[in-house]
Structure 1
Amino acid sequence: MPPLPEESLPPDDDLAAQAAETIARGSQSFATAARLFDPVTREGALLLYAWCRHCDDVVDDQHLGFNRDVAGPGTPEERIAALERLTRRAFAGEALEDPNFRALQRVARRHGLPLSLALAHLDGFRMDVEGRRYRTIEDTLDYCHHVAGVVGTMMSMVMGAREAATLQRAADLGLAFQLTNIARDIVPDALAGRLYLPADWLAEVGLDPEGVALPENRGKVAVLAARLVALAEPYYASARIGIDALPRRSAWAVATAHGVYRAIGTEVVRRGPRAWDTRVSTSRAEKLSQVLRGAAVAARRRGDDAPRPSGLWCHDQPR
């Protein structure tokens, strides 16, 4: 879908306002970074986030990441199918009532997002619905690509990126974010019946999948969480190089998000077995610190065009 001229897109202030409210309530970390974008990029990022958040909530029977009091209609498989139908209709330019899919339609038309990336994102939710288990870390990274790497790619396209190397580094940032999220949420995910740790890692520390959520296994879980955080580091490093290719304000926003999520991973490792007593998050002061650091990153263009390290996982490699 090629980008359309701005004058061909009628304004929809209600969509933008709803998307802003969604991100404010659904992700304070991303909301902090999004404020730093220029207005057009900010609106596109918010609209894309609103669709992603909606799909996640529909699949998990939640609202903004929290459990609903009343279960939604249909089975998870039926919900996925409905999301795919509406997504295809959005990209086909059909009239839609659901504001989340109108948001997707608008951002896709404005920034030329491909349908294939949106469908790949839905495939990640399908993995959750299927209750997929992950044998190796490469299997886990494939999941991370679908639920976060393709979102990083779409977000970078909203920022104007089109070079393949920049899009790949944006996907790397998505992978790093998701590895951090998995580390932070290992225990609550296990309690909800979801496990993203690879089976071979569990075997190495002598941990049974059914025992991941048990308090007596927190030490072993902490070892694996620290391993995930360490695995995320080269992807964060790759993404850092890609930041230099973005427009200045987008670079500032992405560098801020980069710093906020890395800080979450650092805190998970610091807490060790107590990392799941309360959910790890960054304070307001820490977010402000990362905003200032992000400004410095955006102002200091390194001009580093080093190739992506060959050892990093890539979604199109043989599995």
Structure 2
Amino acid sequence: MLAPSAILRRPTSRAGGGRFREPLVDKAYDAIAEGSKSFAAASMLFDRTTRERVWLLYAWCRRCDDIADGQTAGGELGDQSGLEGRVRAIRALTRTALEGQPTADPGFDAFGQVASETGLTLEDADEVIAGFELDAEGWRPRTEADLMRYCYHVAGAVGTMMARVMGVDPADEDTLDRACDLGLAFQLANIVRDFDEDDAAGRCYIPAEWLVEEDIPPGQHMKPPYRFKMAKLSARMVRLMEGHEAAAKLGAARLSFRQRWAVLSAARIYGAIGRKVRDRGQLAWNSRVHTGRVAKVGHVAAAFWEALRNNPDQPDEMPRWTRRELAAMGKPS
């Protein structure tokens, strides 16, 4: 009763933890420009409001990923010890940001800002953080379903959030499904490109059943004798990627022109990465595959005409793995 009222009073909640929006946007742009030149290039095609919100959401995703992986701006993977504690910190900072309290970290304050503008929730964020928890548990995929569950949490759920940032109605489940497909396609491209890098960090996202089918011993998949077989598995993963990529384009057709152009540009750039890995065969991991500036311009130009035509091909069949199915995996029934 003798405590000053200021001690008892809950701090005022303010979007972005009380930071001014413009500096947060500037910091978010710096994060995407350094962390993903592909996303940065595609994001410039959005209208200003959408572009800034995409940057704010990306800044949170990038910061979470860097904390979890012990890296800077998506660079080389760092020390993987103490990951459980880092994931707890990610969750606590995210909750604080959503409560409108300062986090002393612009990446998390950016999430608080964009969430206040678009209605993103802690439940949305938890779907992404669950992917970091899988890594913290030392989880490895046994089946293709396990692989796709991981891809859903670390990228498919992000795709769904990006669609919300673009103004897709939360009740428009089919368009959100297609946005999830795009995230899944992006993550499959990332995984197949980074087989070697992940192996060096003690990680493997290739289903154990796939390795058994190719008679590749555990932990030996990146050794020279198995490179031909790994090229075969990379092609298999790229086929998965292309199925989700094709489905994602159906959802992009429902977006405004500039949003559609940006999404299709990103899809072409990331799809090209996966296909380049596949086409290089056993040599794919001798150097990191990337898309150069000239190639990016070509993909953006091709996406312009694709967005203008807005008549995506109907896939022969939709992907086997759905957003609802993947979200339910690992949760109590």
Deviation at 1:58, TM superposition (A): 0.5
- Aligned partner (choices 58, 62, 67) of residue 49 of structure 1: 58
* SS of alignment partner, residue 164 of structure 2: helix
Indicate conservation of the 8 Å contact 2:63/2:108, yes or no: no
Q: Distance in 1 between matches of 2:89 and 2:316?
A: 37
Cross-structure match for 1:212 = 221
2:167 to 156, 160, 177: 160
When Rg is computed on C-alpha atoms for both structures, the one with the higher figure is 2
Query: Given the superposition, is the C-alpha separation of residues 29 and 303 from structure 1 closer, same or farther in structure 2, using an over 3 Å criterion?
Result: closer
Q: CA deviation at 1:13?
A: 1.5
Structure 1 distance, partners of 2:162, 2:129, is 16
User: Residue 235 of structure 1 contacts residue 312 of structure 1 at CA under 8 Å; is this kept in 2?
Assistant: no
Q: Residue 251 of structure 1 corresponds to which residue in structure 2?
A: 260
2:236 corresponds to: 227
* Deviation at residue 217 of structure 1 after TM alignment: 1.5
Structure 1 stretch 214-223 or stretch 29-38: which is displaced more? Answer: 214-223
Alignment partner of 1:139 is 2:146: yes
Aligned residues: 309
Q: What do residues 189-223 of structure 1 show as CA deviations (whole Å, max 9, x unaligned)?
A: 11111101101100111112210121222111111
Q: Structure 2 CA distance, aligned partners of 1:85 and 1:308?
A: 44
Instruction: Please say which of residues 10-19 and 115-124 is displaced more in the overlay.
Output: 10-19
- Asked whether the equivalents of residues 160 and 179 of structure 2 are also in contact (C-alpha less than 8 Å), the reply is yes
Aligned to 1:187: 196
One-letter code aligned to 2:24 = L
In the alignment, what sits opposite 1:85? 92
Cα separation, 2, equivalents of 1:167 and 1:309: 18
What is the deviation of 1:251? 0.6
Look up the SS of the partner of 2:219 in the other structure: helix
The answer to whether residue 129 in structure 2 is matched with residue 98 in structure 1 is no
1:62 partner SS = coil
- Equivalent residue letter for 1:140: L
**Matched residues in 2 for 1:96 and 1:138: separation?**
36
Consecutive aligned runs of 4 or more in structure 1 exceeding 3 Å deviation: 306-311
TM-score (ref. length: structure 1): 0.91
CA contact (8 A) 1:186 1:195 kept: yes
Provide the residue aligned with 1:274 in structure 2.
Answer: 283
User: Do the aligned partners of residues 310 and 20 (structure 1) sit closer, same or farther apart at CA in structure 2, a change above 3 Å counting?
Assistant: closer
Q: Which residue number corresponds to residue 35 of structure 2?
A: 26
Distance in 2, Cα, partners of 1:144 & 1:41: 24
Unmatched 5+ residue regions in structure 2? 1-14
CA RMSD of aligned residues (A): 2.2
Greater Cα offset, 208-217 or 159-168: 208-217
Cα distance in 2 for partners of 1:225, 1:303 equals 26
Per the TM alignment, residue 303 of structure 1 is displaced from its structure 2 partner at its CA by 8.2
Counterpart contact for 2:185–2:244, Cα < 8 Å: yes
Which amino acid is 1:90 matched to?
A: A
Letter in 2 for 1:313: W
Tell me, what secondary structure is at the counterpart of 2:31? helix
1:313 aligns with 2:321: yes
1:144 Cα offset (Å): 0.1
Structure 1 CA distance for aligned equivalents of residues 248 and 319 of structure 2? 15
Unaligned runs of 5+ in 1: 1-5
Asked if 1:124 is matched to 2:139, the reply is no
Q: Name the residue aligned to 2:44.
A: 35
TM-score by length of structure 2 reads 0.88
Aligned CA distance change for structure 1 residues 234 and 88 (closer, same or farther; 3 Å):
same
